[in-house]
Structure 1
Amino acid sequence: MRTGHTPSRSNSEYWANTTIPWFTLADVWQLRDGRRTYLGETTNQISELGLANSAAELLPAGTVVLSRTASVGFTGIMPRPMATSQDFWNWVCGPNLLPEYLNYQLRSMAQDLRGLNLGSTHQTIYKADASAIEILVPPLDEQRAIADFLDRETARIDTLIEEQQRLTNLLRERKLAVIESSLAIDGTTAQGMRLKHFVTEVKQGWSPQCYPWPGDGTTTWAVLKAGAANGGAFRPNETRNCPIVKCRGQKRS
């Protein structure tokens, strides 16, 4: 089990001639929907000099990563040698553990892993808790059979989701077209007026540091994400969790 590190930002030489893929929280978006197994291109790279002068390590292909800070519980597999920031626990599998199988095991435990997220100001999964994670380890051929089965089934489900999303988008476009055509006004019978004359108040939102899971609206605030109103439809569950103490001084609509 390994973690990563960030070379000193104050030394520009560590960030020149960068060639080593460096997976950070800026890349976790790749893993959020659970559809990607292998890590893609990284937003940032580090240099060999930066690697040599930090606690970061160049880990081998097949290493399984687990995000442990801020965005907790997302997993993937390195397709090539890579390094990570300190926001990840990384497992280099031995000969009796298949990376693809471990990746599925950790994904099935995502909710429990998020429950290990501790700390008052800097929430993370600490080493002792990460080291104590237990998984089921059947024989290698059975691991491979399970991973292959899940690859097939999840790919089939993802295809169905894509088809459903395409249909949903078409229906939304149709809905918008109906609304637009129904509200078309003949300029000879009506005059356009500014919206501000017909509302009591216009408010702007705020972007606090939130947790990635939804807020409950009671003990925590539910902060609407940008995608909550995409496509002409309002989705009240598209929220992030913000502790009330962090939102103190702000007005809630």
Structure 2
Amino acid sequence: MKNKSLTPQIRFKGYEDEWQQAKVREVFTLGNGYTPSKANPAFWTNGTIPWFRMEDIRENGRVLSDSIQHVTPEAVKSSGLFPAGSLIVSTTATIGEHALLIADSLANQRFTVFQTVNRWSWLSAKYLLYRFYGLGDWCRKNVNAGGLAAVSIADLQKYDIDFPSSDKERDSIADYFGNIEQLIAEAEREVSSLEKMKQASLQKMFPCPGETTPEIRFNGFNGEWKKVTFSDLFSPIKNNTLSRACLNYDYGKIKNIHYGDILIKFGSIVDVNDCLVPYVNDEIGLELNNFNTLSNGDIIFADTAEDEAVGKCVEIDGADKLNVVSGLHTIAVRPNKEFANGFLGYSLNSNLYHYQLLPLMQGIKVLSISKSAIADTIILYPESLDEQKAISKYFRNLDELISAKRKQLTKLRNIKQACLDMMFVNTSEL
């Protein structure tokens, strides 16, 4: 079934005619990728021919000139290499991912290779690269039922490829998306750079294992940091165990932080006014004084996780304005002395502290850590509140910058997706 009109919702000025449409089988010859035998070293030793896998798309994006792994000319079948300008689409396992090859190359068996036939060579690969986002969406919605997830090549050949008749319009569309992707790539690099800066700062602005002073320090501060055990510095806060009957996402006066919030949603400091799961108290007769509510500066650890993130923690902020409790799979503690707001949240997520937790973790598929296990771990901190404040302010400013860049990246990605939805014709449904 085709759309009534072959015109996109959004269009560059000066173009009004309907787009054209053709079946995949008319525009392309399709081929299958393959993996040369790993048992034959002559196919792989000192290889120079790019051989693409899904990892190449994940690492290098959707325009591929070179690969992580290479094969030798002896590994190439009689059908030859896939020529530059071909597109590959994953039609088994991970479905619908695609890329443009700009070098003569090969790909593994996950991919179907699309080569334009001669009479369609004018339909530029640059335009098709972005048109294939729609093809990828179609593939994900049309996976064979049962067995290995795959897309039927027979159905794929009946898919409609739409395009404007004007080469200038095609080029304008490709250039527009190319510019968006360049902005996205730049934003991704900025986020990555800032995240690496934060990790490096966490390593250098807190003492290394065995040391009592950090490698980098703000001017005006000196002397060794104070060394205490966890149990001497913190008092435990009893967890609040509630049944699922208490949960309600629309109403509640008491809010809960559980291990999933810590591992996924939050950084070193959590403003409890953020979206946490509320508990109902009035409807089921639970009163506020039945709970061990948290205060600003309290620390909550995730005591279980599927990886070494177990032991990640958050410092509570904003609890003076909202009732919040510690819930499922958490360890909540309260410092018995004053600390600068935010310092403990960053300190206890630094390598200095987390390295101590690694040998204390138990489990195979799911790791966990107990209150008793962390009781003898060592906490180091500068006794100067001014130095604590300076460290906390530095990391908070860095987190705010990272958050702003992530929001910018999300906005660009949303713009790209909206344009992909509206600047191409939604074509055939089989």
Q: Under TM normalisation by the shorter chain, which class is it?
A: 0.5 to 0.7
Judged with a 3 Å threshold, the aligned counterparts in structure 2 of structure 1 residues 177 and 23 are, in CA distance, closer, same or farther, namely: closer
Deviations 1:35-77 (A, max 9, x none): x341143222222222136xx6401111111122222222111
Give the deviation of 1:104 after TM superposition: 0.3
**Which residue does 1:68 correspond to in 2?**
91
Q: Would you say 1:145 and 2:172 are equivalent positions?
A: yes
Task: Name the aligned partner's letter for residue 148 of structure 2.
Answer: H
Structure 1 segment 10-159 matched on structure 2, within 5 A: 10-30=39-59, 36-52=61-77, 57-93=80-116, 94-139=120-165, 140-159=167-186
Number of residue pairs matched?
Answer: 197
- CA distance in structure 1 between the partners assigned to 2:37 and 2:196 by the alignment: 46
Give the deviation of 1:192 after TM superposition: 4.9
Give the deviation of 1:157 after TM superposition: 4.0
**Which residue does 1:7 correspond to in 2?**
36
Give the deviation of 1:19 after TM superposition: 2.7
Contact 1:28 1:71 in 2 (8 A): no
Helix, strand or coil at the partner of 2:70: strand
- CA distance in structure 2 between the partners assigned to 1:14 and 1:75 by the alignment: 25
Q: Would you say 1:191 and 2:229 are equivalent positions?
A: yes
Judged with a 3 Å threshold, the aligned counterparts in structure 2 of structure 1 residues 166 and 18 are, in CA distance, closer, same or farther, namely: closer
Deviations 1:120-146 (A, max 9, x none): 332122211321222212122221111
**RMSD across aligned positions (CA):** 4.0
User: Which has a greater percent of strand?
Assistant: 2
Give the deviation of 1:102 after TM superposition: 0.8
Helix, strand or coil at the partner of 1:136: strand
- Where does the alignment leave 5 or more consecutive residues of structure 1 unmatched? 199-223, 235-249
Please give the TM-score of this superposition, normalised by the length of structure 2.
Answer: 0.38
Helix, strand or coil at the partner of 1:65: strand
> Which has the higher relative contact order, 1 or 2, with Cα contacts under 8 A spaced 6 or more apart?
2
Deviations 1:131-176 (A, max 9, x none): 1222212122221111011112332344345446656777888999
- Where does the alignment leave 5 or more consecutive residues of structure 2 unmatched? 1-29, 208-224, 237-304, 315-364, 369-430
Task: Name the aligned partner's letter for residue 113 of structure 2.
Answer: N
* Comparing 165-174 and 5-14, the one that deviates more: 165-174
Q: Which protein has the larger Cα radius of gyration, Structure 1 or Structure 2?
A: 2
